[in-house]
Structure 1
Amino acid sequence: MRTTLAALQMCSGTDPHRNAEAMERLVRAAAAKGAHYVQTPEMTGALQRDRAALRAALKPEEEDVIVATARQLSAELGLYVHIGSTAIARPDGKIANRGFLFGPDGARLSHYDKIHMFDVDLDNGESWRESAAYTPGETARLVDLPFGRMGFAICYDVRFPELFKAQAQAGAEIMTLPAAFTRQTGEAHWGVLLRARAIENGMFVIAAAQGGVHEDGRETYGHSMIIDPWGRVLAEAGDAGEEIILAEIDRADVAAVRGKIPNLKNGRSFALDAPQARAKDDAA
């Protein structure tokens, strides 16, 4: 069964209500183009570097405008709406970088809290400490949809192939990777990493991205992508601004690729003969 999926590229600002309006406009446009599933980028609700302002705007899930808008749109339009992520106030007073998937009846089918925190020091003084604001997730999740078993990841998660492999071995045929990649890292690694994760696991990868210069001063790379299990880029957006990309997928393509290259089945355990281990053996 061939199904049309859409990834929405956005340039979210600091106001969740304005971002919700932009998201609604893009979701409606994607539905009009025939999409059955629509994914938004990481931090759809707001990109806000000012932590005090971020906390002041936070809402719990049941009061969040992005969550409410997505739920309403999915039910009205009869499609799957996947909020790549948005900042959510947790009951313990901490913040989650959380994605949501809503079904065609408006029901929440799954959610995912970003596991890996982007704590890095890049060239030219660019530095990020996500762990200073967000609590990392601890659970990878899969959901069965009519067009395939779907797994979840967010942005920096793409650099941890074990997360993708574990979900592929559990039957995932589609991996989602909404992101807000920095321009510096995106130019170097974004497309390569996405294609690698698709090829390694013989799965579709859907990656809606933020793109452009944002109100809070950061610049994101854009280039939202949909990639097939052979590593072919089926659709790609530009580097900045709003854009809708669409592609048809068929889960049969996953079976075909994994049949040709069954690396998920062919993997073997092995011992590691490292210098430190040898030294301990010699001492014994």
Structure 2
Amino acid sequence: MVFKAAAVQMCSGVDPEKNAESMARLVREAARRGAIYVQTPEMTGAVQKDRAGLAAVLRDEETDLIVKKASELAKELGIHLHVGSTAIKLADGKIANRAFLFGPDGKKITSYDKIHMFDVDLDNGESWRESAVYRPGERAVVADLPFAKLGFGVCYDVRFPHLFRAEAMAGAQILTTPAAFTKQTGEAHWEILLRARAIENGAYVISAAQAGVHEDGRETFGHSMIVGPWGKVLASAGGTGEDVVVAEIDLEAVKACRAKIPNLKNGRDFALDIAPVLAKGGVTV
């Protein structure tokens, strides 16, 4: 099957209502350009590093503004709409960094909670502790859609190839990594990671990103991207501000790549031995 997919690039602020309006405008543009699958970035609903500010706009899944608007848009446009993620209030006081997929009837097909938490100290002074606020997910997700099997990930998940290998082994032909990558890590690794996940799994990778300087002072890398299963970048946005990138997805290309390099079939289980260190004279120490 051949169809068009789109990655919507945003620069979300702290107000979910304004972000929902921006999302709607950009998703409509993607649909106008022929995309039947449209993906938005991580934290579509609000990019807000102030915990009190984020808490003030949090809602549960049933009343969340982005969830409601995405459902309406999917039905209005007759598309599959993938909200890369938005912050969802949980009953235990924690927050889920949750992705949603809506079908053309407006109903939720599935959701996915980001598994790997971005707990790092960067050498430019930035420090992130997602686990202090967010509850990590515990399940990988593959959605069997009419046009393809879709595997889920969010941002930092892209650095954990075993997640996407598991999804590819379960039949995923498209892997997704919507993100809000920092500028420093994005400049160093973004494209390399996306192309690597595509190549090693013989799959398309679609990654909608946040881009530019946000209201809360954060700066994200952008460069929303669609990568083919042979590792070629099929479409890419710039590094600042809103954009919509569209590419043609041909599932025969997935089949062809996996036939040329059948590493999904050729993988083998193995044991791991930790060899002892030898001194110069060959004596084990």
Normalised by the length of structure 2, the TM-score is 0.96
Corresponding position of 1:186: 186
Paired residues for 1:124-139 under 5 Å: 124-139=124-139
- Cα shift readout 1:135-194 (whole Å, capped 9, x = no counterpart): 000000111112210010000000000000001011110011100000000000000000
Paired residues for 1:30-109 under 5 Å: 30-109=30-109
Larger helix fraction of residues: 1
What CA RMSD, in Å, does the superposition of the two structures yield over aligned residues? 1.4
Structure-2 change in CA distance of 1:3 and 1:277 (3 Å): farther
State the distance in 2 between where 1:146 and 1:242 align. 29
The alignment partner of 1:19 has SS state of: helix
Corresponding position of 1:146: 146
State the distance in 1 between where 2:128 and 2:93 align. 22
Gaps in structure 1 of 5+ consecutive residues:
none
The alignment partner of 1:244 has SS state of: strand
The alignment partner of 2:62 has SS state of: helix
State the distance in 2 between where 1:36 and 1:187 align. 30
Corresponding position of 1:123: 123
State the distance in 1 between where 2:272 and 2:95 align. 39
- Is 2:266 the partner of 1:243? no
Contact preservation (8 Å) 1:88, 1:95: yes
State the distance in 2 between where 1:72 and 1:276 align. 61
Contact preservation (8 Å) 1:147, 1:250: no
Corresponding position of 2:25: 25
- Is 2:7 the partner of 1:7? yes
Shift of 1:250: 1.4
Shift of 1:275: 3.3
State the distance in 2 between where 1:276 and 1:119 align. 32
Shift of 1:69: 0.4
Letter paired with 2:191 = G
Gaps in structure 2 of 5+ consecutive residues:
none
Corresponding position of 1:213: 213
Corresponding position of 1:173: 173
How many aligned residue pairs are there? 280
State the distance in 2 between where 1:159 and 1:225 align. 16
- Is 2:241 the partner of 1:226? no
Corresponding position of 1:271: 271
Contact preservation (8 Å) 1:8, 1:224: yes
State the distance in 2 between where 1:246 and 1:277 align. 53
State the distance in 2 between where 1:124 and 1:171 align. 40
Letter paired with 1:185 = T
State the distance in 2 between where 1:4 and 1:273 align. 47
Displacement over 3 Å in runs of 4+: 275-278
- Cα shift readout 1:8-40 (whole Å, capped 9, x = no counterpart): 000000000000000000011111111101100
Shift of 1:242: 0.3
Structure-2 change in CA distance of 1:120 and 1:276 (3 Å): farther
State the distance in 2 between where 1:89 and 1:72 align. 21
Letter paired with 2:157 = D
Shift of 1:277: 10
Contact preservation (8 Å) 1:9, 1:211: yes
State the distance in 2 between where 1:184 and 1:14 align. 22
Shift of 1:91: 2.0
The alignment partner of 2:35 has SS state of: coil
The alignment partner of 1:125 has SS state of: coil
